[in-house]
Structure formats: structure tokens, C-alpha cells
Amino acid sequence: MQLQNVETVRLGADTKIHLSTLKKRTGIANWNTLCRWAFCLSVSDGSPVRDREDKGVGAVEMSWKTFAGEEDEIYRLLLVDRCQSEHRAVDRDMLAKTLRQHIARGAARLVSNRELKSVGELLALISKQGDHVGSKDND
């Protein structure tokens, strides 16, 4: 079975504001890079995203290829896995919604970290996340 995929990533107005703030703080110029960070941060949290109303969807748009780049397969598999575990359905609409919600949650979490002001501090989140995940008791 061929898995469906998201063709266009459409984000809401609130997410655009968060991404704009992150661009200014970190100096990262590209939406896709920030979206990748936001998505990965969100999916690293095992809890499902809240089902929230999408406001102003289309405030930021990019192709899936721009979002995922050369790591298309990794991002697609992460997205499909979360979609299956959170919604038990994997169709194009659910994939798009799940991606949008995870990018929104991740961007909100990144922007709420007022200490985050550089690429170096963004990279430091990796070790903090790794330490946090490694210390959890998963029983």
C-alpha cells in the first residue's frame, strides 16, 4: 500500500507569529528549519497534541519537499507513526492536521523559552531532551 503524503504544509496565524519571533531571536532565516525543530520537539513528547481549532490556516505555506528536505523519509515516518498512534487513521487530511498541530505545539514551546536566543541554545535543547527522555521510567 502506498502511503499518502502531505503535499503542502499550511500553518496558522498563531504559528506564524511564533515562527517570526523565533526567526528574530535565533537568526534562523528559513521557516522550514524552524518548522523541523518545532515538529521534532513536539513529537519527542509522547503526549498527544490537543485538538485545536485551526485559525488562519495558510498564513505560512511551503511544500512538503521544502519542509522535509533530504530527510523526507524520516519526517514522513515520524508523522505517520504519530498519526496512527493519536488518531488511528492515516489519510492525507489527518496527516496534514497532525503535522500542523505538532509544528504549532513545538513552535509555541520554543517561543515560550525566553532563554532561547541563538542556534547554540537551540542545539543545547537536544542534550536536555535526551537527558530528560533517558531519565524517564517507562514502566
pLDDT tens digits, one per residue of 21-56 = 999 999 999 999 999 999 999 999 989 998 877 777
CA distances (Å), origin 77, targets 1, 19, 83, 102, 126? 14, 24, 10, 14, 20
Is 139 part of a structural domain of the chain?
no
Range of the domain at 96: 8-129
137: in domain: no
Residue 2 inside a domain? The answer is no
- Identify whether 74 is part of a domain: yes
* In-domain check, residue 136: no
Mean pLDDT across 53-71? 88
Residue 14 domain-assigned (yes or no): yes
pTM: 0.86
CATH number, domain with residue 81: 1.10.1220.160
On the question of pLDDT at 133 being above 80, the answer is no
63 in a structural domain: yes
Q: Once rounded to an integer, what is the mean pLDDT over residues 76-96? A: 91
- What is the number of domains present in the chain? 1
Q: How far apart are CA 105 and CA 126, in angstroms?
A: 17
- 105 located within any domain: yes
